[in-house]
Amino acid sequence: MADSPEDQSRTSYDVVLFGATGFTGSLVAAYLAEHAPAAMRWALAGRSAAKLMAVRERLAAARPELKELPLLIADAGDPESLRELAGRSRVVISTVGPYLHYGEPLVAACAEAGCDYVDLTGEPEFVDAMYLKYHARAVETGARLVHSCGFDSIPTDLGLLYTMRELGPQTGPVRVSGFIRAKGTFSGGTLASAMAAMSRPKQMARTAKARRAAEPKQPGRRFGVLAGPPRRDKTAQAWIAPLPVIDNQVALRSAAALPEYGPDFKYGHFAAVRRLPIALGGLAGVTGLAVAAQVKPLRQAVGKLVKPGQGPDERRRAASWFTLRLKAEAGGRTLVTEVSGGDPGYGETAKMLAESALCLAFDDLPAAAGQLTTATAMGEALIERLTRAGITFRTLSEPPTRSPGPSSR
């Protein structure tokens, strides 16, 4: 539900981008500069005035009307500055990771102020910890706290919502497998977040258990994750291997909250590659990173490969793409759908994050509060926004005769 004029008058800004000087933050700023409504009141926020001014100068070079775009000084290590920021904003975008290290103070400030919040995290422990600490307060204040609003995990979450609505109401078991193919690279910030998450397996497990105990029970409903060994799949037209990423948890949370997923729902997220050695090599690489994350010297060495603030250049981003093919089996019927777009890690992630914030700020959405998924907070409205922005959601009457790539988007 959109804010009333009275609610809007209590804040200075519709959208504030916190972390605007980082690699991903600067891409989000550029997207907002191009696509935000002309009347939107927005600002850039970060801890360095000089770096914020540099970002604003780059934006104003193409958009002279942005030469006076407000700049707000706020620091993840200064909770008071974040409380002031949240108190002046309708929606805050956070690109400041690793979120386990830097994210909590802003979530706390938004939950207390009743300010909507979106981020890019793929860190399960962070999301679970924020639920335990701030969900109840956000429900009280009306804040919508929506994590994982980028490649983690919008294609999966909204792709599943699209798929379930194509299937129609379900009263029996539903099994959905998601096969992800992508060409792209990563930034230093993404690598740092992944290493931080993998370095804490015991803490992650404890926090997940505590969340399961705290969440409302669902009598008569069951939810689970599909897995299995690497294998050839006809629908994916590729070798597949399970991906232990946050998409699985996000999918099941949306399924638990929305009736159209039915009483017995399972989802599995898989990497899809053309040759088995690539699948096995990918698993070995993830295992190697997980091992390295447990040993501080190795973790630091990996972190030096790509430093935070660095990322792929425009040429590499332009050549990148992704497809997520979803195979849903329910009531004796098999339905195949697909979500596809450009550069997954940065170009499309910046688009998804920015459009999520715009959706919360301006669209007429169902009343909801607390920690939410993109499907439960924004659902069809965000699918429509992303479709207009160039991300494709489509139903395949049957699997294509060849694997998707850049030319098939």
Identify the residue whose tokens are 């997954």.
344
pLDDT at 285 over 70: no
**Which of the pair, 294 or 318, is modelled with greater confidence?**
318
**CB-CB contact of 249 with 267 (8 Å):** no
- Report the percentage of the chain scoring pLDDT > 70: 81
Range in 208-217, 230-239, 301-310 the model is least confident about:
301-310
Is the confidence at residue 7, as pLDDT, over 70?
Answer: no
Euclidean distance between CA atoms 303 and 193, whole angstroms: 10
Residue 409 reports pLDDT greater than 50: no
- Predicted local distance difference test score (pLDDT) of residue 289: 45
Percent of the chain exceeding pLDDT 90 equals: 71
Q: What is the pLDDT of residue 183?
A: 84
Q: What is the pLDDT of residue 5?
A: 39
CATH-assigned architecture of domain 5-151+348-385 = 3-Layer(aba) Sandwich (3.40)
Considering all CA atoms of the chain, what is the largest pairwise distance in Å, rounded to the nearest integer?
Answer: 60
DSSP letter string over 134-158? HHHHHHHHT-EEE---BTTBHHHHH
User: Does residue 349 or residue 288 have the better pLDDT?
Assistant: 349
Inform me whether the pLDDT recorded for 26 exceeds 60: yes
Give the CA distances from residue 5 to residues 11, 14, 139, 377, in Å, rounded to whole numbers and listed in that order: 10, 12, 21, 21
CA distance 267 to 271: 14
Place 405 in a pLDDT band, splitting at 50, 70 and 90: low
Q: From 326, 174, 151, select the one nearest 235 (Cα to Cα).
A: 326
Q: What is the mean pLDDT of residues 172-187?
A: 85
The pLDDT value given to residue 299: 41
Give me the pLDDT at residue 279, please: 57
> Mean pLDDT throughout 385-407?
75
Q: Read out DSSP for 66-109?
A: GTT--EEE--TT-HHHHHHHHHTEEEEEE--S-HHHHTHHHHHH
User: Considering only 71-75, 78-82, 233-237, 403-407, which range has the smallest mean pLDDT?
Assistant: 403-407
User: Is 304 or 143 the better-scoring residue by pLDDT?
Assistant: 143
Q: For 75-85, what is the mean pLDDT?
A: 97
- pLDDT tens per residue across span 31-78: 999 999 999 999 999 999 999 999 999 999 999 999 999 999 999 999
pLDDT digits (tens, 9 = 90+) for 301-359: 445 555 555 566 677 777 789 999 999 999 899 999 999 999 887 899 999 999 999 99
Distance CA 18, CA 348 (A): 19
Spell out the domain ranges in the chain. Answer: 5-151+348-385, 154-343+391-408
Residues 185, 187: Cα–Cα separation, whole Å: 7
- Give the tens place of pLDDT for each residue, 259-281: 999 999 999 999 998 876 655 56
Instruction: Determine the Cα–Cα distance for residues 271 and 24; give it in Å rounded to an integer.
Output: 24
H or E element at residue 258? none
Query: Average model confidence (pLDDT) for the chain?
Result: 87
